[in-house]
Homo-oligomer: A and B are copies of this chain.
Amino acid sequence: MTMVFPTLADLQAARERIAGRAHETPVFTSRSLDAACDASLFIKCENFQKVGAFKFRGACNAIFALTEEEAANGVATHSSGNHAQAVALAASLRGVPAHVVMPTNAPAAKRAAVLGYGARVIDCAPTLEARETTLAKVVAETHAHEVHPYNDPFVVAGQGTAALELFEEVGPLDTFLVPVGGGGLMSGSALAAAAVSPGTSVEGCEPTLANDAAEGLRIGERQPPNPPTTIADGLRTALGPLSFAIMKTHVHTIHTVSEAEIVAAMRFVWERLKIVIEASSAVPFAVALRGDVAKRRVGIVVSGGNLDLDRLPWQEV
């Protein structure tokens, strides 16, 4: 079976589709960060995106790409986190119902946010199996269109728009560091870089405790998820078939970092850049602060800024 990847035209169409709906987020630079990394970093701040994460780009593109007929019965997904809010908000903007399956252990604040965007929340047990069977039941009952968080070419194309904006603003880069969870952001970013800055080395960033992408690319076969132990909770997911295939073609290497490196990088960014980033977003900074990209012009996508401010990781170690 061959898989059709989104093209540059698909990414550009996504960009037009989400224009005026998603934010064109700013690119930050920091002399103290550059000095600490011995590199020039260009930081695309998706923590300032709607719902506080890049996820809104993909959900918005997927939902606004639906025909009237496809959208008529609304959309559905399962998620405990940022994708749930992204689908809820995008559906609300399109004016169609959203059915969101959430595990009962999802944070109360995220559940409240999804309800706040007018979505219907369907509770399920906190297992992947329960989430999938509950979603299947919801889709069967409502005929809603399922929006997968990353195994969907429209979602991948939407996530790639952040990279398109970054390259347009700062020009070619030597290296592009992107965190890898389900691979939606990574594969969209890789497609964008390959199309508009083919000389860029596209490099994924993972916690060592969730190194399924590094292992998968090394072995050449998609790996199951690791036990969900890393504090970078957005990166615990395994890759999907689509993101894995794109990454095999377009990603040059995967860096892995320790939990201590993630916590130190997260704190460094909060202290020096004065921006709130979640632990998953600290992973590429940990790679850069270790010196892995010294002397280079480097792009980084900050994936999001959603976390529990009562429990900061440097207060727990």
Contacts and interface: CB of A to CB of B under 8 A. Distances in A.
B314 A52 contact: no
Interface size class of A (residues with CB under 8 A): 10 to 19
Contacts of A271: 276, 309
A310 B315 contact: yes
Query: What 8 A-B pairs are tightest by C-beta distance, nearest first?
Result: A274-B305, A274-B276, A47-B274, A270-B276, A48-B274, A270-B309, A275-B275, A274-B275
Nearest to A109: B271
Interface string A43-61: 0000110001000000000
A26 interface: yes
A310 B314 CA distance: 8
B310 A309 contact: no
Interface string A257-300: 00000000001001101111100000000000000000000000
A312 interface: yes
Nearest to A278: B274
Contact of A267 (B47, B277, B309, B315): B309
24 contacts: A26-B26, A28-B48, A47-B274, A48-B273, A48-B274, A52-B274, A267-B309, A270-B276, A270-B309, A271-B276, A271-B309, A274-B275, A274-B276, A274-B277, A274-B305, A275-B275, A275-B276, A276-B276, A309-B312, A309-B314, A310-B314, A310-B315, A312-B312, A315-B315
